[in-house]
């Protein structure tokens, strides 16, 4: 049962190979497909391709299908090729001839394009919400533990004093930049491709501005050829933004795996959040963070996977693009799961106090000692040599206090400023516009 089929049948092996995982993955797009159709048929009525009575029948039928999707009772039958065919077939079975008219003025190409854009918008909103929750938790932990010092490292060698305030705050600010990239991805995804048909427009007098407004898009993909070229590009840009969030989580996970190690012992977690060994009763393994590290490293490979699948494709639609869903959809789920479990784990993190009392960390303060001499008028290079000799002679005595006060340092975290940056970015997404438009469409 295919919306493109005429009087011939397709070889079963060819059909199974070309359909692939589409039925399974298309369930993710089912709500988006109904929403796109609701906007499209309202536009068709406005240009007199549907009567008001037909529009009402179609809207009622589509909204019933939408409710079935919400209730998890919607399925794509095995003899149906994809979600578009299933919804159109269901609608026609239930309301008759009017259901056959909903494909006027569009192609499956722009139908899947708008479905993906709608799906990506909602996926971005979920990622942003989870990232925002983690961000505020990191800021809270940074403020809570700003007095707790720990060693900083360069080349994995003891370097200079740091603090848990700096450590938590660093990852909070990293998420700010990650959401800058996500905002760019959202702007790309928030443009309407509907009405580009097979990529060359339509001879019908389509009102593409109307469907843009009905679906809450910020703008149109105006050029119909470029609208089709956006397939693959939107996925790649979204993957790049996801990769940035994943990189932050992977680096944090690696820090946690080091810091929980007995040779560091800076942090710990309750037993129920770690795992043990089959033969070593003393083990508390950070399996959660090891899996976060690996999952997020996979996500960091995603932009390159998509680029390699779309490299050197000419303009126009190609079936290669179908496979992008197989890479991107599971990655979206995985990233959200990582954000959720990192947040849960950090709710239970335990911080060790007085870490720097250990004598092996005394040399952390060598730069501070050099700076104290410089403040007394000694040239930096002379002060550097003096402290170096004290270290060689084992006569070095570390300063009693850390006096870092400039912006973003141990004594001046600037968390309020970081929070303001995040607030400004979050406000720019303006998810309310799309959500209000969708509510009106399905009301």
The domain limits of the chain are: 12-101, 108-357+408-442, 359-392
CA 373: distance to chain centroid? 48
According to the model, what pLDDT value does residue 10 have?
Answer: 65
Q: Would strands 219-220 and 191-192 be described as parallel, antiparallel, or unpaired?
A: parallel
pTM over 0.85: yes
Q: Which of 286, 252, 254 is nearest to 269 (CA)?
A: 286
pLDDT digits (tens, 9 = 90+) for 293-349: 999 999 999 999 999 999 888 888 888 888 899 999 999 999 999 999 999 999 999
According to the model, what pLDDT value does residue 128 have?
Answer: 98
The Cβ of residue 65 has, within 10 Å, a number of other Cβ atoms equal to 20
Tokens of 225: 């050829």
Q: Are the beta carbons of 98 and 52 closer than 8 angstroms?
A: no
**Which listed CATH number (1.10.275.10, 2.40.100.20, 3.30.2350.10, 3.20.20.100) goes with 12-101?**
1.10.275.10
Tokens of 166: 């700096």
Residue 80, φ and ψ in degrees, nearest 5: -100, 140
**Which listed CATH number (3.40.50.1100, 1.10.760.10, 3.40.640.10, 1.20.200.10) goes with 108-357+408-442?**
1.20.200.10
Average pLDDT of the chain to the nearest whole number: 92
Check residue 253 and report its DSSP letter: H
> Picking from 159-168, 301-310, 353-362, 423-432, which range would have the lowest pLDDT averaged per residue?
353-362
- In 71-107, alpha helices (H): 83-95
Q: CA–CA separation, 350 vs 268, rounded Å?
A: 5
CA count, 13 A, side-chain hemisphere, 181: 19
Q: Are the beta carbons of 208 and 195 closer than 8 angstroms?
A: yes
């Amino acid at each position: 049962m295919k919306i493109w089929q005429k009087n011939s049948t397709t070889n079963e092996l060819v059909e199974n190979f070309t359909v692939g995982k589409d039925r399974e993955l298309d369930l993710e797009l089912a709500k988006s497909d109904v929403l796109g159709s609701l906007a499209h048929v309202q536009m068709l009525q406005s240009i007199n391709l549907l009567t008001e009575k037909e529009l009402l029948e179609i809207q009622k039928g589509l909204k019933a299908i939408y409710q079935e999707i919400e209730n998890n009772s919607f399925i794509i039958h095995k003899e149906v090729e994809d979600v578009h065919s299933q919804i159109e077939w269901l609608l026609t079975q239930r309301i008759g001839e009017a259901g056959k008219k909903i494909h006027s003025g569009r192609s499956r190409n722009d139908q899947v394009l708008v479905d993906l854009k709608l799906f990506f918008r909602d996926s971005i909103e979920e990622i942003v919400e989870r990232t925002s929750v983690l961000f505020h938790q990191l800021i809270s932990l940074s403020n809570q533990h700003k007095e707790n010092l720990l060693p900083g490292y360069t080349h994995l060698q003891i370097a200079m004093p740091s603090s848990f305030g700096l450590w938590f705050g660093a990852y909070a600010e990293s998420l700010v930049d990650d959401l800058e990239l996500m905002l760019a991805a959202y702007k790309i995804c928030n443009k309407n491709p509907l009405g580009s048909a097979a990529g060359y427009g339509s001879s019908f007098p389509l009102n593409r501005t109307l469907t843009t407004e009905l679906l809450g898009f910020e703008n149109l993909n105006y050029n119909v050829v470029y609208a089709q070229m956006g397939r693959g590009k939107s996925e790649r840009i979204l993957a790049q933004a996801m990769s940035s969030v994943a990189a932050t989580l992977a680096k944090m996970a690696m820090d946690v795996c080091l810091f929980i190690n007995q040779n560091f012992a800076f942090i710990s977690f309750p037993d129920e959040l770690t795992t043990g060994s089959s033969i070593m009763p003393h083990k508390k393994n950070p399996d959660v963070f090891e899996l976060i590290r690996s999952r997020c490293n996979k996500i960091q490979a995603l932009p390159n996977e998509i680029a390699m699948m779309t490299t050197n494709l000419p303009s126009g639609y190609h079936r290669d693009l179908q496979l992008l869903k197989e890479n991107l959809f599971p990655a979206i789920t995985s990233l959200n799961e990582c954000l959720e479990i990192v947040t849960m784990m950090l709710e239970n993190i335990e911080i060790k106090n007085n870490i720097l009392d250990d004598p092996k960390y005394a040399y952390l303060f060598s730069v501070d000692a050099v700076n104290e001499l410089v403040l007394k008028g000694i040239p930096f290079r002379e002060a550097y040599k003096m402290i170096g000799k004290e270290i060689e002679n084992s006569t070095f005595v570390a300063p009693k206090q850390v006096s870092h006060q400039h912006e973003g340092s141990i004594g001046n975290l600037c968390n309020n400023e970081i929070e303001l940056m995040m607030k400004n970015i979050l406000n720019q997404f303006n998810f309310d516009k799309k959500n209000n438009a969708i509510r009106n469409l399905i009301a």
